[in-house]
Chains A and B, each alone.
Chain A
């Protein structure tokens, strides 16, 4: 079965705190892609990152960083020095190789308070 689990339903932090959003996936494929999307209150899903299964190098983009560990089937997302504008629902997604499908987790709602 192919599945994405985001166990954290909701996280609340105060501005400037660091926060990590967890993502665990299941797949039997050796080749696949992992994504993170942000869904602000406006409703649009905003693409954040795409990672293929052969690239386990961690990535940093400004205040955002991603930790991909195949050994634990996890693709966690950390926001450093969170800001109120980071408040949104964040979705992790799995795309099995050669399927063009996105299998989403149930999302984690992040609330950043001033």
Chain B
């Protein structure tokens, strides 16, 4: 079974430029998460989707960050414009529902390492 797929793995941009990250969750997982992991820290949740609905975006800086999951499968996280402080690893995770035979555990992708110069 394929894991969570993310692309790109690395991205270097100059400040004020836009950037987008893509995530493909594990097949059948209806819950999708975006996390940000700063250097030396644990991941922190940015947004959570149940199918195509964002059910928790309280930690998403909405002035510059946006996300979408139009068909309830793949998701895109965008930053526009990027700032120096946005340099971090952006992790995507997905979880299936136990009633559908999945374990109640979040599985993570490899992340996108963003460097803003």
Contacts and interface: CB of A to CB of B under 8 A. Distances in A.
B31 A45 contact: no
Interface stretch (B13-21, B37-45, B66-74): B37-45
Contact of B108 (A4, A37, A105, A107): A37
Given A93-B42, A101-B45, A43 B106 contact: no
B41 A102 contact: no
Interface in B73-93: 89, 91, 93
Contacts of B41: 104, 106-107
A44 B106 CA distance: 12
Contacts of B9: 43
B110 A102 contact: no
A43 B89 contact: yes
Given A100-B48, A104-B42, A50 B105 contact: yes
A91 B91 CA distance: 14
Nearest to B4: A44
Contact of A44 (B45, B105, B109): B109
Q: Bin the interface of chain A by size.
A: 10 to 19
B105 A47 contact: yes
A42 interface: yes
Contacts of B29: none
Q: Which of B3, B104, B108, B111 has the most CB of A within 10 A?
A: B108
Interface string A71-102: 00000000000000000000101000000111
B107 interface: yes
A44 B31 contact: no
22 contacts: A35-B105, A43-B110, A43-B111, A43-B113, A44-B108, A45-B43, A45-B93, A45-B108, A46-B108, A47-B105, A47-B106, A50-B105, A91-B42, A100-B31, A101-B45, A102-B43, A102-B45, A102-B106, A104-B42, A104-B43, A104-B44, A107-B42
